[in-house]
């Protein structure tokens, strides 16, 4: 059976007082795919990746975090609530421990779970999480990052048009041919309605006060007890490549990979590399 013939089931479950929508394929050790925090993010980001993991003998799961996709919109729009929802989802599914594949903002969430509750995380694969890279002395956002910031500022109060959704995808993808009419329509549907209202609520949250004594998360990567894999795009925004090289100097023992011709949407741009590296890592 090829990966393309694997059936992905679309379901819902109640967890922490919310109805969460999730995708499931295969059986075996659970692998939970965690999407990022950008407008339009949802479990659907991993539709192209899940069949290969299911075929390899894993139970592939991805859920729309609260306020994203088709899941309920919570009263609390903080990242902390989203982080708690991961464990709540696992509890509701009867999963004591799982491997995580976490993209973008979810990489920081997954790392915090692995540090605080190591018994719940068997493996952690991080895809393109900028907050887990050290800063540069003179950081520049770059054209793609600046374009995305302009679009997201515009959309903080105006629901995106389908052309806005296209531009956001183009800013995050090296391979623009992946933006098919079907993919664009799906992403746009996850960027409007209640998902957009939740995005506005998240955008309006006041910035959390910074604790000058807190250790940056990237410095805590070596504290993780479970196996850790990091994959970044060579062409990602915010000087990701240079910062990844700086991380390699700081902790050369880390299993860190840079994939070429890849921007921020690593599960799409680097689908083959993600599967080639992550499946044996989990095995």
Average pLDDT of the residues of the chain = 93
What's the predicted TM-score (pTM) here?
0.93
3 state SS of 156: coil
Domain assignment of residue 69, given as a range:
3-282
Per-residue pLDDT tens for 191-235? 999 999 999 999 999 888 888 889 999 999 999 999 999 999 999
- C-alpha 218/C-alpha 191 separation (Å) is 30
118: Cβ contacts below 8 Å, ≥ 6 apart: 224, 225, 226
The mean per-residue pLDDT over the stretch 262-283 comes to 98
CA distances from 240 to 31, 236, 255 (A): 26, 6, 16
| Strands (E) located in 158-262 | 228-233, 255-259
Domain count of the chain?
1
Per-residue pLDDT tens for 48-98? 999 999 999 999 999 999 999 999 999 999 999 999 999 999 999 999 999
CB 91 within 8 A of CB 113: no
pLDDT on residue 230: 98
Per-residue pLDDT tens for 3-46? 558 999 999 999 989 999 999 999 999 999 999 999 999 999 99
46: Cβ contacts below 8 Å, ≥ 6 apart: 23, 33, 35, 60, 62, 101, 267
CATH number at residue 34: 3.40.50.1820
- C-alpha 43/C-alpha 23 separation (Å) is 7
Dump the DSSP string for 177-205. GG--HHHHHHHHHTSSTHHHHHHHHHHTS
CB 79 within 8 A of CB 107: no
pLDDT on residue 1: 42
């Amino acid at each position: 059976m090829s990966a393309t013939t694997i059936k992905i089931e679309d379901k819902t479950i109640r967890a922490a007082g919310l109805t969460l929508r999730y995708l499931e394929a295969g059986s075996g050790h659970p692998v939970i795919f965690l999407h990022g925090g950008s407008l339009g993010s949802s479990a659907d980001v991993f539709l192209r990746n899940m069949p290969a993991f299911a075929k390899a003998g894993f139970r592939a799961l991805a859920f729309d975090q609260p306020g994203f996709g088709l899941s309920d919109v919570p009263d609390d729009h903080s990242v902390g609530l989203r982080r708690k929802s991961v464990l709540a989802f696992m509890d509701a599914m009867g999963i004591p421990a799982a491997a995580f594949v976490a993209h973008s903002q979810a990489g920081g969430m997954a790392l915090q779970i692995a540090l605080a509750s190591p018994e719940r995380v068997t493996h952690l694969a991080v895809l393109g999480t900028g907050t887990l890279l050290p800063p540069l002395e003179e950081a520049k956002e770059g054209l793609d990052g600046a374009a995305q910031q302009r679009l997201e500022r515009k959309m903080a109060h105006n629901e995106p048009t389908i052309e806005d959704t296209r531009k956001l995808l183009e800013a995050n993808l090296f391979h623009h041919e992946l933006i098919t009419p079907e993919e664009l329509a799906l992403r746009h549907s996850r960027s409007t309605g209640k998902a957009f209202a939740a995005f506005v609520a998240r955008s309006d949250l006041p910035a959390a006060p910074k604790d000058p004594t807190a250790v940056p998360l990237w410095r805590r990567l070596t504290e993780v007890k479970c196996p850790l894999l990091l994959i970044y795009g060579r062409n990602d925004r915010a000087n990701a490549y240079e910062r990844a090289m700086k991380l390699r100097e700081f902790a050369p023992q880390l299993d860190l990979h840079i994939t070429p011709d890849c921007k921020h949407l690593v599960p799409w741009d680097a689908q083959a590399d993600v599967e080639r590296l992550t499946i044996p890592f989990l095995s």
